[in-house]
């Protein structure tokens, strides 16, 4: 191999590199497209009005529609999330949380031998369907300072069901809304 051939090889390599990179550059120049600053198919978030309490924040939830999503049977299953801290059976004892037999229609913080947080006592409302729905959605948000260490039930069906289930555990169930 003489020097001339090596030069040819080097030249070929440089040429190839130039072609490969060059084509990329050229196509860039020819097909330069300005990127839109916003996605072309931006989908507007549609605010669907559901029976969720989150949007309203007040008591203006369609509680009848919400409860229609639930069943007592499903509520019994959902209540398993509560049994670490609550008993719902008649004559049950307080655990970490107060006994929940007959809680619907009862004033909040009404179990005399249970030591509630100041926040819950100050809340002072009756456990209506609406109140219970808001509390179970996000306990800490609805009653700031409550000592119920539970994140909440996001699904409407779960809240509706557990409310219906608890309402069966009562001497005086709340009438259907």
Which residues would be at the binding site for ligand HEC (CB under 6 A)?
81-82, 84-86, 96-98, 100, 103, 108-111, 116-117, 119-120, 127, 136, 146-150, 153, 162
C-alpha 103/C-alpha 135 separation (Å) is 13
Given a contact cutoff of 8 angstroms between Cβ atoms, the answer to whether 150 and 40 are in contact is no
Look-up of token digits 């996605």: 39
| Closer Cβ to ligand HEC, 51 or 100, answer by number | 100
| Closer Cβ to ligand HEC, 20 or 85, answer by number | 85
Q: Nearest-CA neighbor of 166 among 141, 129, 131?
A: 129
Smallest distance from the beta carbon of 116 to ligand HEC, in angstroms? 3
C-alpha 142/C-alpha 149 separation (Å) is 13
Smallest distance from the beta carbon of 43 to ligand HEC, in angstroms? 34
| Closer Cβ to ligand HEC, 61 or 82, answer by number | 82
| Closer Cβ to ligand HEC, 11 or 122, answer by number | 122
Smallest distance from the beta carbon of 167 to ligand HEC, in angstroms? 11
Q: Nearest-CA neighbor of 154 among 46, 52, 75?
A: 52
C-alpha 16/C-alpha 27 separation (Å) is 17
C-alpha 13/C-alpha 56 separation (Å) is 70
Smallest distance from the beta carbon of 57 to ligand HEC, in angstroms? 19
């Amino acid at each position: 191999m003489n020097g001339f051939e090596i030069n040819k090889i080097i030249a070929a390599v440089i040429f190839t590199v130039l072609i490969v990179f060059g084509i990329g550059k050229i196509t860039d120049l020819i097909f330069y497209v300005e990127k839109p600053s916003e996605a072309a198919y931006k989908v507007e978030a549609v605010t669907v009005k559901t029976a969720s309490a989150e949007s309203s924040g007040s008591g203006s939830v369609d509680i009848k529609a919400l409860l229609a999503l639930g069943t007592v049977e499903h509520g019994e299953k959902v209540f398993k999330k509560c049994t670490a801290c609550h008993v719902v059976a008649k004559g049950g004892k307080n655990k970490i949380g107060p006994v929940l037999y007959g809680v619907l229609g009862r004033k909040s913080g009404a179990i005399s031998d249970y030591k509630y947080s100041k926040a819950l006592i100050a809340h002072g409302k009756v456990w209506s369907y609406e109140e219970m729905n808001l509390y179970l959605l996000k306990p800490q948000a609805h009653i700031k300072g409550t000592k119920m260490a539970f994140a909440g039930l996001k699904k409407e069906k779960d809240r509706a069901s557990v409310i219906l289930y608890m309402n069966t555990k009562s001497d005086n169930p709340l009438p259907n809304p």
